[in-house]
Amino acid sequence: MKTLKTKGILFLSLAISSLIIQSCGGVPEDTSISAPSDKAFAVAEVLTLIAEENDITRTLYTKGIVGAGKKQGLKFDEDWQDDEIEAGPLPALFLRGISSDIRKSDVPLGLYLGSDFPINASNKFQGKQAELFEKIKSTEKPQHFYEEDQKLYTSMFADLAVAAPCVNCHNDHKNTTKTDWKLGDVMGATTWQYPSDSLSVKEAIGVINAYRNGTKAIYNAYLEEIAGFKIDSTKPQIGDKWPSKGFYLPTAEVFIDSVRQLASYKSLELLLGSKSVASN
């Protein structure tokens, strides 16, 4: 059993490295995977994959950092970047941090978190997205469509109240437009956009990396904020431990590694699946 498992892991690692090498142009003779014209994935497939990784990141941050951290005395605030406020980003602002970092990259991927009863009025869905959000609320199923006005392929995914802090904070917030959110409610949706209907393996990897770099950037911005806290006793120890174990925070690498471990198998399946699509 053990050798089978080891072989499996070895095979998977080889498969990943070869995909990475090929998609980075390391094997120029072999154009079956890396040719720019080789559109291996439908855009909805890639946006679904990245939305799943985002769910993992968001839940890990909300439960593992915000939920557990609050019990250790860490604070989270919408004005977390103000000098006088010693706090970390709320989950929605963590997501916005990822989204603005992606916008700065050269990957044309858009990410937006909206709702029909938002705390922040600028997060209210408009037009076609508002219409399709009604469907998402009743079915909890994603919606994939072409947004004519912006000329963007768009996928929307339900954003669920997965943890008690989601519900409590929103119900009690001074700017809330709804006070009876319950656990499990569809509180909003993440909207993802991309300008073309299909992606090559290289472009798909680009999307995954842009998202992960965004996570790293906002998480590091949070750690930098902590470094600036005035009183040393309010700074958690940063290393390989999580707040569930005490007054600790994981480093960006430890945080991203956990996301990667939870998400990679699906990413790999999609990329491996593409090999047969690409060579057909």
Contact residues for ligand HEC, defined by CB under 6 A: 58, 62, 66, 76, 78, 90-93, 113-115, 118-120, 123, 159, 161-163, 165-166, 169-170, 173, 187-188
Q: Least separation, in Å, of the C-beta of 81 and ligand HEC?
A: 12
Closer by beta carbon to ligand HEC, 164 or else 277: 164
Q: Least separation, in Å, of the C-beta of 154 and ligand HEC?
A: 17
Closer by beta carbon to ligand HEC, 76 or else 194: 76
Q: How many residues does the chain have?
A: 280
Beta carbons of 48 and 155 less than 8 angstroms apart: yes
Q: Which residues contact 69 (CB under 8 A, 6 or more apart)?
A: 76, 88, 236, 243, 249
Q: Least separation, in Å, of the C-beta of 203 and ligand HEC?
A: 28
- Which residue's CB comes closest to ligand HEC? 188
Q: Least separation, in Å, of the C-beta of 118 and ligand HEC?
A: 3
d(CA 247, CA 175): 31
Owner of token pair 């409610």? 185
d(CA 38, CA 157): 27
Closer by beta carbon to ligand HEC, 124 or else 128: 124
Q: Which tokens belong to 128?
A: 């076609």
Q: Least separation, in Å, of the C-beta of 78 and ligand HEC?
A: 4
Closer by beta carbon to ligand HEC, 90 or else 263: 90
Identity at 225, one-letter amino acid code: E
Owner of token pair 């963590």? 94
Closer by beta carbon to ligand HEC, 103 or else 275: 103
Among residues 208, 203, 222, which one has the least CA distance to residue 263? 208
